[in-house]
Structure 1
Amino acid sequence: MNDPIPTPNPASAPAPTADAHQGLHSEQGALRGEHPGRAAQPVIKVADLAWLEFTKPDLDRAETFAHDFGLSTAARTDEALHLRGAMAGTHCLVIRRGPSSRFIGPAFQAADAADLDRLASATGHKVRPLTEYGGGRAVDLLDPSGIPVRVVHGVTEQPAQPLQQPLVLNTGTSTAAARVNAAQRPPREPSQVQRLGHVVLSTRVFRRALDWYLRHLGLIVSDFLYLDGQRDRGPTMAFIRCDRGSEPADHHTLAMHLGPGTGYVHSAYQVADLDMLAAGGEYLRERGYRHSWGIGRHIQGSQIFDYWRDPDRFMMEHFADGDLFDHTLEPGWAAMSASGLAQWGPPATRDFLGTTPSPGVLLQAVSALREDNEVDRARLLGLMRALSR
């Protein structure tokens, strides 16, 4: 990437003391000897996901979809498009002009400038200035899957824009004064994106990648999923949040799962509420964009969700009302299944699950089985069974 993404902290994490999962959708927690879901002495603890980077050949088309999806343009040149949400903060997407559409990698926000120096020292990399829009400094790394990961600090943050407000609701047991003699008419317009919430990645080296993110970025696991009948082999998916101590963080900022493919699965963007999500979905539908799955409510993370494909087939999610956890929560454990992805809503589609038969899917599976990684025949069959249940 060209500005474009290209000594350990001795403080150990406090022992988790709470379990919000018990009696809900996950089992009680880890069995003896299972993955604890956090590193004892992480190098740093990132504060958030800053942005995602892509290349695309048509910036005009990318910008049109972004505006229809609810993002706004923070800056644009002939070679790069920087997009933002309405909340105060840095830009949340960077799209660079390139010969093909591809995901480059994520950038995470360091909590302190000294964290960049600590991370650079621990990894043998350098801290370098960012010279394009937003400025700041960065350390550029590669995760075990080969995905570029950037950690940044000092990037210029933009002030908040006027926000779409959640609707005032009358419930069965209470009546809002503002909803007396007042009809509810949410406009059919783009769902205003407030902020980037999370990114989901696929990897053939799940355990190595998981441990790398926990060790280097101080992320902690909210939920593990395992393959039915293979729990003794360890988890195959993790929903991972930032460790901000007693300050609550999104249930997951990063999610990863074992699979024959490597790289981007989808990214998620917060909107005000269910009505804004639904009305914005109708707006996208009227403009001919491809719907992938929704509307529903997830189990891990509890978000109300709706998934769409952009013109380059990248999957993007509108979400509202996600879980917030502090550092005391232990990981939940549950068996992976397609039906276990939502509390309510339509069944997960093949498009969302990535199970639509195609030569590309078959080629990925054959390639994964031939390489030295964590995808073997039993794992692949287990994944196929989980995605069909």
Structure 2
Amino acid sequence: MTIPTKDVHEGLHSEQGAVRGDRVHKAKNPVIKVEDLAWLEFEKPDLDAAERFAHDFGFITAARTADTLYLRGALAGTHCVVIRQGEKSRFVGPAFKAADIADVHRLARAANTSAYTLPSPGGGVGVDLLDPSGIPLRVVAGVEELPELPILQRKLIFNTNGELNRVNATQRPPREPARVERLGHVVLESTNFNKALDWYQQKLGLIVSDFLYFPGQRDQGPTMAFIRCDRGSTPADHHTLAMTLGPGRKYIHSAFQVADLDALAAGSEYLKENRYKHSWGIGRHIEGSQLFDYWRDPDGFLVEHFTDGDMFDNTVEPGWAEMSASRLSQWGPAVTRDFLEANPSPHFIKQIASALADRDNEFTARRLLGLAKVALK
């Protein structure tokens, strides 16, 4: 009897797998393998306003000094956002968590630099690096972990699929901030997408879950990658880092896990009542499968609540699909111009002109045409 085979990508996470000549999805012998994102660092001029939004979005203040705000989620772990006082609002960079302190020193030696002791709160050891895009990042280990807080949103009991699990009891989840549980991922734009992706694979041991390419440009290679940590047989988030080719070097968005759809939706209503700017949602993504809801903070940074995301171990091969606005979600409202940042500003036009004039990057005129097609498909 012949057992029929099944393509691993059919109904799993993408339309198709790799073909001969596609770029590799992981390095054979990386310097280290990071385990997760530790935190994201920002600078903002008004820490009070930043903290107000943070609490309404569902963060908890872990610590605050005269010039720095440390935010955390409810699950055990390190603080997940650091906001320092600065003259203007800007994204500084991500910090990745290494398996141990020895890995931090190994990475420092490979980069011909030195590791150093991190200040409180948290302590630990870190090394500062610069990726090929020019984005600064930090790799840390030995940072003190905060205990789980007794404020996780209550798990709801559902009557679904004909199963009667709740009797003589109502379902009344409160309209309150969706309590952030943990940091999930960050999305960055690069003019040197392939060089940067190679660097993250070779230095940090990250592996690609899904590749996307501009319409009609599969032969030119990918222009976006959803990248996860390689934890061996232990499942990791579908993407801890996502990178996309574009005319700039910048932060796109970051995502924070909440308990479930009810928490996400009730939190969405709470943010609307408090007159924050909604960007897009609620819906379910394709790459990563997570339920999502996107918001702009008072400084314009895009932040996402998500729940029910894919978890892959290191046996899943990457998927390949065409990038288009219409396939950003399985269901939900149409993607907005705000989310796509489809309202060209003088700064954006200047950025494109500068990128096209720079012969050392990957954002060419052909890539610009491909990017323009994404919004039309």
Please give the range of the TM-score, normalised by the shorter of the 2 chains. over 0.9
Shift of 1:113: 1.5
Separation in 2 of the partners of 1:118 and 1:24? 36
Question: Residue 206 in 1 paired to residue 193 in 2?
Answer: yes
Counterparts of residues 137-156 of structure 1 (less than 5 Å): 137-156=125-144
SS in 2 for 1:21: coil
Question: Residue 126 in 1 paired to residue 114 in 2?
Answer: yes
1:279 maps to what in 2? 266
Q: 1:379 aligns with which of 362, 367, 374?
A: 367
The code of the aligned residue for 2:279 comes to: S
The code of the aligned residue for 2:158 comes to: L
The code of the aligned residue for 1:359 comes to: P
Separation in 1 of the partners of 2:219 and 2:15? 15
- Contact between 2:13 and 2:288, CA under 8 Å: does it hold in 1? no
1:225-279 deviation digits (Å, cap 9, x = unpaired): 0112111111000000000000000000000000112110000000000010000
1:339-376 deviation digits (Å, cap 9, x = unpaired): 11100001111110111132122111111111121111
Shift of 1:193: 0.2
Q: 2:81 aligns with which of 93, 99, 103?
A: 93
2:159 maps to what in 1? 170
Judge which range, 161-170 or 139-148, deviates more.
161-170
Judge which range, 18-27 or 221-230, deviates more.
18-27
Separation in 2 of the partners of 1:261 and 1:338? 19
Judge which range, 197-206 or 26-35, deviates more.
26-35
TM-score under structure 2 normalisation? 0.96
2:302 maps to what in 1? 315
Question: Residue 241 in 1 paired to residue 228 in 2?
Answer: yes
The code of the aligned residue for 1:324 comes to: M
Shift of 1:173: 2.0
Shift of 1:62: 0.2
Question: Residue 304 in 1 paired to residue 304 in 2?
Answer: no
1:264-302 deviation digits (Å, cap 9, x = unpaired): 000000000001000001000100100000000000000
Separation in 2 of the partners of 1:119 and 1:199? 21
1:28 maps to what in 2? 16
Question: Residue 56 in 1 paired to residue 44 in 2?
Answer: yes
Question: Residue 37 in 1 paired to residue 64 in 2?
Answer: no
Separation in 2 of the partners of 1:152 and 1:314? 25
Shift of 1:26: 2.0
- Contact between 1:226 and 1:336, CA under 8 Å: does it hold in 2? yes
2:3 maps to what in 1? none
TM-score under structure 1 normalisation? 0.93
Q: 1:337 aligns with which of 309, 324, 341?
A: 324
The alignment's C-alpha RMSD in Å is 1.1
Identical positions, percent: 67
Question: Residue 258 in 1 paired to residue 250 in 2?
Answer: no
Judge which range, 92-101 or 127-136, deviates more.
127-136
Separation in 2 of the partners of 1:33 and 1:40? 17
Any stretches of 5+ residues in structure 2 without a counterpart?
A: 1-5
Shift of 1:71: 0.3
- Contact between 1:204 and 1:261, CA under 8 Å: does it hold in 2? yes
Separation in 1 of the partners of 2:18 and 2:373? 23
Any stretches of 5+ residues in structure 1 without a counterpart?
A: 1-17
Separation in 2 of the partners of 1:21 and 1:117? 38
Counterparts of residues 188-227 of structure 1 (less than 5 Å): 188-227=175-214
Separation in 2 of the partners of 1:223 and 1:130? 34
Q: How many residues are paired up?
A: 370
Shift of 1:23: 4.2
Separation in 2 of the partners of 1:43 and 1:165? 41
SS in 2 for 1:302: coil
Judge which range, 99-108 or 226-235, deviates more.
226-235
1:231 maps to what in 2? 218
SS in 2 for 1:308: strand
1:179-211 deviation digits (Å, cap 9, x = unpaired): 111111110000000000000000000000000
- Contact between 1:19 and 1:329, CA under 8 Å: does it hold in 2? no
Separation in 1 of the partners of 2:54 and 2:181? 13
Separation in 2 of the partners of 1:253 and 1:19? 25
SS in 2 for 1:382: helix
SS in 2 for 1:211: helix
- Contact between 1:19 and 1:330, CA under 8 Å: does it hold in 2? no
2:281 maps to what in 1? 294
Shift of 1:132: 2.9
SS in 2 for 1:228: coil
Separation in 1 of the partners of 2:8 and 2:182? 25
Separation in 2 of the partners of 1:211 and 1:45? 14
Separation in 1 of the partners of 2:43 and 2:13? 38
- Contact between 1:228 and 1:336, CA under 8 Å: does it hold in 2? yes
The code of the aligned residue for 1:174 comes to: E
The code of the aligned residue for 2:160 comes to: T
